[in-house]
Structure 1
Amino acid sequence: MRTVGILYPGFSAEDDYPRAEKLLTDGATLPLVHTEMKVDAHREDALLDIGGDEVLAEGARRVAAESGPLDAIVWACTSGSFIFGPEGAARQAAALERAAGVPASSTSFAFVDACRRLGIGSVALGATYPPDVAGAFVQFLTHHGISVLTVSARDIITAAEVGTLPNGTVLDFAGAVASDAPQADAVLLPDTALHTVEILDALEHRVGRPVLTANQVSIWQGLRLAGADLDRPGLGTLFRKG
């Protein structure tokens, strides 16, 4: 049985993780702690604050104390990692790994690794963020060799508001994003505040190609780092190894 610690900022779509855990038939667990979020805002200064090394180190200490030994740990926040830039995000993940003493990553790098796993070279991006924050993720993906063909930014400031979006709205959003770039290899929905775990297969059915979502790739990355990279139904193309 593998244990992947999840560090999650604030409160919005954290219930995606216990939902996913029920689908992990090998007994893998995803214990989650809420890290400090002084200001809930998709804004550069607030994002730099929630992704600080001390904030994440404290989260790592708490999740280990509450769940016991970990096999891997993930900073489950896309904007709170890519906002540091490619090099800064790499330093952030390395600092978390040192603090936790187990393999570590963040959602931003999980998207990159998931695209590489599936051979995805071009994407359509459906961001809940304001345009400037979405642009920072475009730069991050481009740095790692992923071409972003179109960007749709919904300009929602708070994670709490994103977490209230119903499944139908998320499905419609993904469909609209996909229609803007029919030639894109995949659709990316990068906010961990967005509920998606219950509708991963439905999302892919709607758009007719792989859809990568933030909580999905965070879970996949953690399990992969923990040595539990298995075929898992119900969690989208990313979790199907065949």
Structure 2
Amino acid sequence: MTAGIEIIPAGRLPRLDERPLEKRIGLVILSTDHTTEVDFRRMVASDRIGVYVSRIHYANPVTPENLLKMQPSLTQGAGLILPDEALDAIIYSCTSASVVIGDRNIEAAIHATKPGVSVVTPTAAAVKGLKALGARRISVLTPYTIETSRPMAEYFADLGFAIDRFTCLGLSDDREMARIAPDEIAAFAREALAPQSDALFISCTALRAAQVAARIEGEAGKPVVTSNLATAWACLRLCGDDRVRPELGQLMTMPYGEG
């Protein structure tokens, strides 16, 4: 059918940009995750910053034992994101697993396939964000069971935070956590924030909490840090995006800093 069509080669090869987009963010997320990609499209992705996603196997329920089972998959999952190409940062998007596996172990697993990349976990980003906001006394809200919440309480306490109130919602399926309406999250947040706390941390990348962080702040008069808000903030700052965006929450007005 095409035998009579002459195909003419161009007179030169096309000029190539160094990268399709200036900055590259990698996301390693759970196979069951409904929320992280949506939040990162809304808060991070742009004509300058690309967000590239890999999913690793996860099976509910959310227990410390099941969370720990993801550790062997981290290296392979990270390696699937733009193989043999550099990333500006890579996030492992699971807060409770970051506590159980450990921030340093996650960094080591990712560096095994992406040497030198900045590794961001929700827990480490939340700690950095809370410190940037000057918070020393915090309240914490999680969707987890008591069993899964306890290691998180210990994580923040070990890092020197005074925990005034720790509230958990008792869920064990991250798909159900994603179905909690933002208005419900805001309602629980109001109850979870102790008057003496400097800030509220809302844990879990499955929760649609970043959507209502600024609203909760307006009602409570205190900063609110959520898992996805913290990782988005960290990634933007690591990519040199220092824009002040108070509509997303007080954290998005803060510089990244050191430590």
Which residue of 2 is the match for residue 77 of structure 1?
94
Which residue of 2 is the match for residue 33 of structure 1?
54
The code of the aligned residue for 2:95 comes to T
The code of the aligned residue for 2:29 comes to Y
Structure 1: gaps spanning 5 or more residues: none
Q: Distance in 1 between matches of 2:240 and 2:73?
A: 26
State the Cα distance separating 1:142 from its structure 2 match.
Answer: 1.0
Aligned-partner SS, 1:234:
helix
Question: Structure 1, residues 203-242: CA drift from partner, whole Å, max 9, x if none?
Answer: 2112221000011111122233344344234221111038
Max Rg structure: 2
Change (3 A) 1:97 1:229: farther
Question: Structure 1, residues 153-199: CA drift from partner, whole Å, max 9, x if none?
Answer: 11100100000111110110111112xx1010001111101012322
Question: Structure 1, residues 19-73: CA drift from partner, whole Å, max 9, x if none?
Answer: 2236x6x732322222221x122201100012x0x3111121122249x541111
1:197 pairs, out of 188, 204, 210, with: 210
Q: Which has the higher contact order (CA 8 A, sep 6+)?
A: 1
1:48-59 pair list within 5 angstroms: 48-50=68-70, 52=71, 54-59=72-77
Q: Distance in 1 between matches of 2:167 and 2:254?
A: 30
Structure 2: gaps spanning 5 or more residues: 1-21
RMSD of aligned C-alpha atoms?
Answer: 2.0
Question: Structure 1, residues 64-111: CA drift from partner, whole Å, max 9, x if none?
Answer: 249x54111111111011013xxx432222332342221112111111
Q: Distance in 2 between matches of 1:75 and 1:145?
A: 24
Higher helix share: 1
Which residue of 2 is the match for residue 18 of structure 1?
41
Aligned-partner SS, 1:231:
coil
Q: Distance in 2 between matches of 1:229 and 1:130?
A: 36
Which residue of 1 is the match for residue 124 of structure 2?
109
2:131 equivalent to 1:131: no
- Between 40-49 and 90-99, report the one with greater CA deviation: 90-99
Structure 2 length-normalised TM:
0.82
Structure 1 length-normalised TM:
0.88
Identity over aligned pairs, percent: 24
- Between 93-102 and 5-14, report the one with greater CA deviation: 93-102
2:64 equivalent to 1:44: yes
